[in-house]
């Protein structure tokens, strides 16, 4: 998932964090002790105050794609199935029913999925506490789910990730305008919905847990969607325990209780707090101070960095209220397999041996930023292989092995290195400039003597280089990928499948089209979820890693701070944040 990246206007603003940290030393002593909360008892009521930097990308569930938007969606929109609110990562990946009565029933080859809706589920108010006649208080039906998925393909809506849904039968005809509906979504009655897919998808329920599949009242939303540019974004109808009471873009989001939500129909969300008061626009360092000082309960998109992080870690009180967990993102250096000499497997593997991953990790900020990666799939996701059990290019301290790399260069037919010109694209924003420098040094040591190094500003390396195969970028050093949902399909299919090399907006930057890898991905995709599927992804992970097309070097962590007023903060990997629908505040009256 693309996290909002701040292209900071002024480099000086980065420097100010140094000052802030230097001046923030005397915070101890004036901390008030939290109210005593008996174990297992979470206060009900009160206001959850969130300090944020940037706004949601969209409020419309079809389009929202930032992690922070999905964090909001957790309490506003319900989906057929969802992730349980538990602390254990493995248990988090076991989907539970939400609007549906079960997690879906597949046919034999997982190409047809049937869900049944619960009784008592109703739509709440629209944004701004508008009670919509014929919608608010009315039951959610299968037609509302169907319309939600159809509108992902309506141009005026602009779905955030339609490719996860285009395997529904009849999608092509709908997109082309030849059909008024997607015929692959069958709704025999108000409670039943059957998906007919053109290919098997064992992970279909995961796709039914993303916000785009949340119910949208068809008659109401269709009016907005018929415009040139849908304005449903400003009129979203709630299905979860909260509705959006106020949304002032870049300023403020307020959530209040949706009285139509029946807790008996929801086994996941406890919805302890009455109101969510999410203030946007904070400077990162100021936001951190506000949360650590107890003025806000959660920092969303603001977190201590650099010296401020060190200071937080060193403080016995503050460090207790810091979450540092895998964000299910991998950063990597890619080698374009269509550019000589990276068309050679040995050369790619040689580069994998040569890169000093430990140095890159140091440049990124050390172990707190996440573990050094030894393969592609990050921890927390099925198919992950721990460094202990699998480390094909492992060396002592992961600093690389130049001798082994040179042997492989020779085996690949380049004993003296390579002096042809190669386009090498990094990024200029610190520390990306240093990543590029580090990788360049490693490659030059390996004998690549003619690197054409470019370091454009974020995110131009993606939009103007990596994403355009015509550019023939040979080496990219500032690439990263985060999961959409906790199945390795969201990693390996867009990034390693030969079918996904696109003319523009390409994400298979290495342009790898390896029959064995393609086959392994196809096999895993078809496998129903469970241990067998995990094993299939492990195999695909091995093949993709050993193809050498990537040099994965870190599995990133997400750093989150919360205040002493927050009770029961659980980290959820789906939206990489605190699962606030089961948290309470001690400030509750």
- Phi and psi torsions of 232, nearest 5°: -60, -25
Scan residues 193-252 and list those touching another protein (CB under 8 A): 228-229, 231, 233-234, 248-251
Which residue, 456 or 480, is less far from another protein as judged by CB? Answer: 456
- Phi and psi torsions of 558, nearest 5°: -105, 130
Under the binding rule (CB under 8 A), the answer on residue 430 touching another protein is no
Alpha-carbon distance of 250 to 53, in angstroms, equals: 8
Under the binding rule (CB under 8 A), the answer on residue 390 touching another protein is no
Alpha-carbon distance of 196 to 115, in angstroms, equals: 12
Under the binding rule (CB under 8 A), the answer on residue 45 touching another protein is no
32: left (phi over 0), alpha (psi -120 to 50) or beta: beta
Cβ–Cβ < 8 Å for 554, 328: no
In the complex, least distance from residue 226 CB atom to another protein, rounded to whole angstroms: 14
| Residues binding another protein: number (CB under 8 A) | 69
Contacts of residue 505, defined as CB under 8 A and 6 or more positions apart, other chains included, come to 467
Under the binding rule (CB under 8 A), the answer on residue 166 touching another protein is yes
- Going by the DSSP 8-state scheme, the letter that residue 238 receives in this structure is P
Contacts of residue 459, defined as CB under 8 A and 6 or more positions apart, other chains included, come to 5, 7
Beta bridge partner(s), residue 97: 81
Q: How far apart are the first and last CA of the chain?
A: 37
In the complex, least distance from residue 544 CB atom to another protein, rounded to whole angstroms: 17
Mask: binding to another protein, 100-139, rule CB under 8 A, as x and -?
Answer: ----------------------------------------
Q: Give which of 568, 35, 563 is closest to 271, Cα–Cα.
A: 568
Under the binding rule (CB under 8 A), the answer on residue 470 touching another protein is yes
In the complex, least distance from residue 126 CB atom to another protein, rounded to whole angstroms: 16
Stretch that binds another protein, among 117-125, 394-402, 504-512, 580-588 (CB under 8 A): 504-512
3-state SS record for 4-54: CCCCCCCHHHHHHHHHHHHHCCCCCCCCCCCCCCCCCCCCCCCEEEEEECC
Which residue, 342 or 574, is less far from another protein as judged by CB? Answer: 574
- Phi and psi torsions of 506, nearest 5°: -70, 145
Which residue, 280 or 534, is less far from another protein as judged by CB? Answer: 280
Under the binding rule (CB under 8 A), the answer on residue 2 touching another protein is yes
Cβ–Cβ < 8 Å for 312, 356: no
Alpha-carbon distance of 78 to 519, in angstroms, equals: 35
Which residue, 250 or 340, is less far from another protein as judged by CB? Answer: 250
DSSP H helices in 103-180: 142-151, 171-176
In the complex, least distance from residue 156 CB atom to another protein, rounded to whole angstroms: 8
Scan residues 49-68 and list those touching another protein (CB under 8 A): 51, 54-55, 57, 63, 65
- Phi and psi torsions of 379, nearest 5°: -60, 145
In the complex, least distance from residue 124 CB atom to another protein, rounded to whole angstroms: 23
Cβ–Cβ < 8 Å for 79, 121: no
Which residue, 83 or 282, is less far from another protein as judged by CB? Answer: 282
Other beta carbons less than 10 A from residue 84's beta carbon: 18
Question: Of 256, 270, 285, 514, which one interacts with another protein (CB under 8 A)?
Answer: 285
Question: Of 70, 115, 161, 550, which one interacts with another protein (CB under 8 A)?
Answer: 161
Under the binding rule (CB under 8 A), the answer on residue 281 touching another protein is yes
Mask: binding to another protein, 141-160, rule CB under 8 A, as x and -?
Answer: --------------x--xxx
Under the binding rule (CB under 8 A), the answer on residue 576 touching another protein is no
Task: Look at residue 554 and give its three-state secondary structure.
Answer: strand
Which residue, 368 or 502, is less far from another protein as judged by CB? Answer: 502
- Going by the DSSP 8-state scheme, the letter that residue 86 receives in this structure is -
Question: Of 45, 139, 162, 365, which one interacts with another protein (CB under 8 A)?
Answer: 162
Stretch that binds another protein, among 47-55, 332-340, 524-532, 569-577 (CB under 8 A): 47-55
Under the binding rule (CB under 8 A), the answer on residue 9 touching another protein is yes
Under the binding rule (CB under 8 A), the answer on residue 24 touching another protein is yes
Under the binding rule (CB under 8 A), the answer on residue 27 touching another protein is yes
Under the binding rule (CB under 8 A), the answer on residue 163 touching another protein is yes
Residue 184, both tokens: 């692959």
Stretch that binds another protein, among 87-95, 255-263, 274-282, 369-377 (CB under 8 A): 274-282
Under the binding rule (CB under 8 A), the answer on residue 39 touching another protein is no
Under the binding rule (CB under 8 A), the answer on residue 297 touching another protein is no
Stretch that binds another protein, among 373-381, 454-462, 510-518, 530-538 (CB under 8 A): 454-462
In the complex, least distance from residue 333 CB atom to another protein, rounded to whole angstroms: 21
Under the binding rule (CB under 8 A), the answer on residue 513 touching another protein is no
Q: Spell out where 386-497 has E strands.
A: 422-425, 451-454, 475-482
Q: Give which of 265, 246, 264 is closest to 255, Cα–Cα.
A: 246
- Is-cis flag, bond preceding 431, omega within 30? yes
DSSP H helices in 41-182: 67-76, 89-92, 142-151, 171-176
Under the binding rule (CB under 8 A), the answer on residue 262 touching another protein is no
Question: Of 467, 476, 569, 584, which one interacts with another protein (CB under 8 A)?
Answer: 467
Q: Which helix (H) or strand (E) holds 444?
A: helix 432-445
Which residue, 8 or 35, is less far from another protein as judged by CB? Answer: 8
- Binding site residues, another protein, CB under 8 A: 2, 4-10, 12-13, 16, 19-20, 23-24, 26-27, 30, 51, 54-55, 57, 63, 65, 155, 158-163, 166, 175, 228-229, 231, 233-234, 248-251, 279, 281-283, 285-286, 289-290, 293, 295, 456-457, 459-460, 463-464, 467-468, 470, 484, 494, 500, 502-505, 507
């Amino acid at each position: 998932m693309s996290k909002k990246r701040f292209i900071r206007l002024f480099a000086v603003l980065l420097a100010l964090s140094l000052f802030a940290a230097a001046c923030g030393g005397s915070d101890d002593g004036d901390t008030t002790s939290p109210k005593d909360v008996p174990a297992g008892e979470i206060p009900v009521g009160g206001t959850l105050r969130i300090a944020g930097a940037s706004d949601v990308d969209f409020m419309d569930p079809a389009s929202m794609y930032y992690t922070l938007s999905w964090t909001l969606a957790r309490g506003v929109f319900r989906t057929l199935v969802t992730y349980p609110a538990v602390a254990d990562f493995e248990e988090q990946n076991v989907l539970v029913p939400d609007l549906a009565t079960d997690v879906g029933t597949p046919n034999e080859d997982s190409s047809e999925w049937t869900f049944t809706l619960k009784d008592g589920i109703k739509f709440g108010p629209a944004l701004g506490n508008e009670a919509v006649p014929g919608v608010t208080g009315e039951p959610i039906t299968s037609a509302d789910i169907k319309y939600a998925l159809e509108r992902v393909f309506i141009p005026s809506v602009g779905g955030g990730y339609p490719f996860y849904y285009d395997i529904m039968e009849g999608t092509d005809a709908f997109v082309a305008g030849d059909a008024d509906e997607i015929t692959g979504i069958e709704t025999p009655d108000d409670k039943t919905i059957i998906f007919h897919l053109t290919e098997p998808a064992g992970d279909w329920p995961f796709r039914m847990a993303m916000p785009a599949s949340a119910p949208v009242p068809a008659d109401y939303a269709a009016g907005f969607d018929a415009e040139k540019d849908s304005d449903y974004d400003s009129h979203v109808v709630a299905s979860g325990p909260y509705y959006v009471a106020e949304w002032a873009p870049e300023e403020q989001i307020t959530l209040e209780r949706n009285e139509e939500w029946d807790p008996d129909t929801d086994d996941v969300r406890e919805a302890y707090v009455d109101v969510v008061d999410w203030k946007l626009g904070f400077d990162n360092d100021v936001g951190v101070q506000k949360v650590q000082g107890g003025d806000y309960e959660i920092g969303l998109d603001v977190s201590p960095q650099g010296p401020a992080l060190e200071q937080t870690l060193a403080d016995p009180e503050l460090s207790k209220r810091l979450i540092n967990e895998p964000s299910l993102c991998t950063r990597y250096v890619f080698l374009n397999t269509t550019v000589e000499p990276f068309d050679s497997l040995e050369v790619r593997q040689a580069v994998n041996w040569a890169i000093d991953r430990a140095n890159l990790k140091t440049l990124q900020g050390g172990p707190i930023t996440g573990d050094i990666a030894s393969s592609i799939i990050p921890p927390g996701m099925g198919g992950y292989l721990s460094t202990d059990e699998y480390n094909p290019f492992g060396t002592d301290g992961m600093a690389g092995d130049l001798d082994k790399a040179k042997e492989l260069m020779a085996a690949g037919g380049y004993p003296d290195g390579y002096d042809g010109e190669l386009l090498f694209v990094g990024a200029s924003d610190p520390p990306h400039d240093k990543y590029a420098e580090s990788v360049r040094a490693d490659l030059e040591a390996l004998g690549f003597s003619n690197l054409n190094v470019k370091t454009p500003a974020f995110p131009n390396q993606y939009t103007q280089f990596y994403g355009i195969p015509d550019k023939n970028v040979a080496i990219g050093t500032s690439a990263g990928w985060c999961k959409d949902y906790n199945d390795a399909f969201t990693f390996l299919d867009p990034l390693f499948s030969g079918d996904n090399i696109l003319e523009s907006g390409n994400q298979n930057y290495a342009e790898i089209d390896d029959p064995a890898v393609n086959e392994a991905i196809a096999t895993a995709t078809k496998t129903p979820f469970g241990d067998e599927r995990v094993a299939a992804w492990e195999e695909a992970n091995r093949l993709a890693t050993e193809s050498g097309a990537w040099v994965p070097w870190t599995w990133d962590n997400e750093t989150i701070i919360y205040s002493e007023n927050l009770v029961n903060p659980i980290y959820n990997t789906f939206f990489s944040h605190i699962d606030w629908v089961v948290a309470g505040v001690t400030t509750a009256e």
